[in-house]
Structure 1
Amino acid sequence: MSEPALFQSQHPKATCFSRSVSKLPLSTGLNSRDLERLETLIIERIKVKKGSALYRMGDPLRSLYAVRVGAFKTRMMSFDGCHQIIGFQVPGDMLGLEAISSGHYGCDALALEDSEVCSIHFLRLEKLSQDLPVLQHNLHKLMSHEIVRDLHMLFLTGNLNSNERLADFLLNLSQQLSTLGNSSTDFVLKMSRDDIASYLGLRLETICRCIAHLRNHALVEIVGRNVKILNIEGLRYLVAGHFESS
C-alpha cells in the first residue's frame, strides 16, 4: 500500500459513522447498545485518492472497509499480467470480504474517484460477532451476497449476449443508485468503458456497439459517462430476451 495513496482524518471516528453506524449492512437488527459496541471497531476514516489503491492483492487482512463516499473497482491479475475487473463498490458496500478465507486480500481495490472508507478491525469484529449472533448473521449474509454476485456473473457471461449484458449492468447500477437516494434513470458512470468491458467479459469495441444498439432502440442514451435511461422496462425485457424492436 503506497503511503501517498491514503491519508487519515484528523478525527477518525468523529464524522465516520457516528450518526449513521446504523446504516452499515453489518448493523441490521442490532440494538443501540450493540451498535455502540460495533462503532468501537471502526479504527479510522481513510481517504483514498482517485486511482490509488486501498489495498493490493496479497496484502494481509487487517480490516474490512465500509465505503462511505465515492466508488471503487476491484480487480484481479492473472499470471500473464492481464487485469480483470470483478466488481464495483459504492457507498454502503463492504470491501475486503474475499480475504476472510485466506487471510490475504484476493484482489486490488482501486478508487474510481476521491473516496472515503471506514476501517473495521477484522479480528475484533470476528470476536464481537461471537458474542452477538445477529452481527455474525449479518457478516455471513454479506459473504453470501458476494457468492450470489459471483454466480450472477457466471450466469450473465454464459447465457446473455453482449447487448443483454450491458443492459443488465445498467439495470443493476440503476437499482444501486436508487437505493442510495439518487436518480435511477439519470446518472454519471464512475468507471470507464474499458472497465465495463473487462467486467462484462467483452471487448471495448463491443461495448461501443452495444451503446449504439441501446441508443438506436431508444432504451438508453449514453454521452461520454452521462447515462439517461429512456425505457427501463424495455431494458428489463431485453435482459429477459423478450424485447422486440419496432
Structure 2
Amino acid sequence: MNPIAIKVACSNCNLRELCMPLGLNQDELDRIDSLVAVRRKIKRGATLFRNGETFTALYAIRTGFFKTSITTEDGRDQVTGFQMAGEIIGLDGIVNDHHTCDAVALEDAEVCEMPFERIEELSREVNALQRHVHKIMSREIVREHGVMLLLGSMRAEERLAAFLLNLVQRLHARGFSALELVLRMTREEIGSYLGLKLETVSRTFSKFVEDGIVEVKQRHIRILDTEALKRIVNQQTQACL
C-alpha cells in the first residue's frame, strides 16, 4: 500500500471519460492533472480505508475491484456496494469527515488518491469539476435508492437478475463484453449485498442455468438470454442500481 509516484497524467488516462469531467480546455486539464497526489497499489484482501478513519481524500479506481462493507451490531459483515475501475470511492467520508465503511480490494488494484481539500479548491475554479462531483454524489444517492427498492420489494430472482444486468452494463461501459463476466466477489458477498442467504443465491443461479438464461462455470458467467433477465426484473429498477 505504499504510495507510488504518479507517472501518467489524468488527461492521458484511458479511464478519463469515466471518472473525469468532459469538455475541459487545456488549462483546466492541467489543473485537474494536479489533483492526483499519488497512486496507491492495494493488494487483494487489503483495506483502502476503514470505518472510523479520518476522511482526507476520494479515490479514483484505476484498476481492480473493491467492496464496501459495514459491521452490524451482531458482528456480521454487511456488504454495501461493489466498485470497479473508473468509479470514485470514499464519498461516505464527506458527511462527518470520517469514513463510515470499510473498503477492501477484491483483487490487486490501483487507485488515484485525490485530496478532498484540493478537490474543493479546484471546484471553485473549474465549474465542470464541481458539476462532476455533484453528479457523482447524485449517482450514489440514486444507486442507494435502487438498492432500497431492490431489498424491500423484489424476489430473489429479481434481485439477482438486476444485479447481473447492472454489473455487466457497468463492465460493458469499460470496454468489456456485454454477455460475459468474471465475478470478483463470492456468492456469499453477493448474498450479503442483495439481502439473500448463500443457499438462495446458489439456488437462484442454478435456476437461471436450468432455464437457459445463463451459463455458469465457477465465477465465469455467460449471459445467454439478456431479454429473459430484463423480463424478470423491472427495467426502470435495474437502471437505478
Category of TM-score, reference length = shorter chain: over 0.9
Question: What is the CA-CA distance between 1:221 and the residue it aligns to?
Answer: 1.4
Deviations 1:97-137 (A, max 9, x none): 11111111111000000000000011011111012222111
Deviations 1:10-51 (A, max 9, x none): xx2213635127435232332221111011110000000000
Q: In structure 2, what residue type is equivalent to 1:234?
A: A
Match of 2:46 in 1: 52
**Pairing 1:88-237 to 2, within 5 Å after superposition:** 88-237=82-231
Question: What is the CA-CA distance between 1:169 and the residue it aligns to?
Answer: 0.3
> Which of 30, 50, 56 is the equivalent residue of 2:24?
30
Match of 2:10 in 1: 17
1:218 touches 1:230 (CA, 8 Å); kept in 2? yes
CA distance in 1, matches of 2:200, 2:157: 9
CA distance in 1, matches of 2:80, 2:125: 33
TM-score w.r.t. structure 1 length? 0.91
CA distance in 2, matches of 1:157, 1:200: 7
Name structure 1 gaps, 5 residues minimum: 1-5, 242-246
Identity of aligned residues (%): 41
Name structure 2 gaps, 5 residues minimum: 236-241
1:63 touches 1:122 (CA, 8 Å); kept in 2? yes
RMSD: 1.4
Q: In structure 2, what residue type is equivalent to 1:8?
A: P
TM-score w.r.t. structure 2 length? 0.93
CA distance in 1, matches of 2:67, 2:107: 10
Change (3 A) 1:26 1:141: same
CA distance in 2, matches of 1:189, 1:224: 9
2:11 touches 2:29 (CA, 8 Å); kept in 1? no
Q: How many residues align?
A: 234
CA distance in 1, matches of 2:129, 2:23: 8
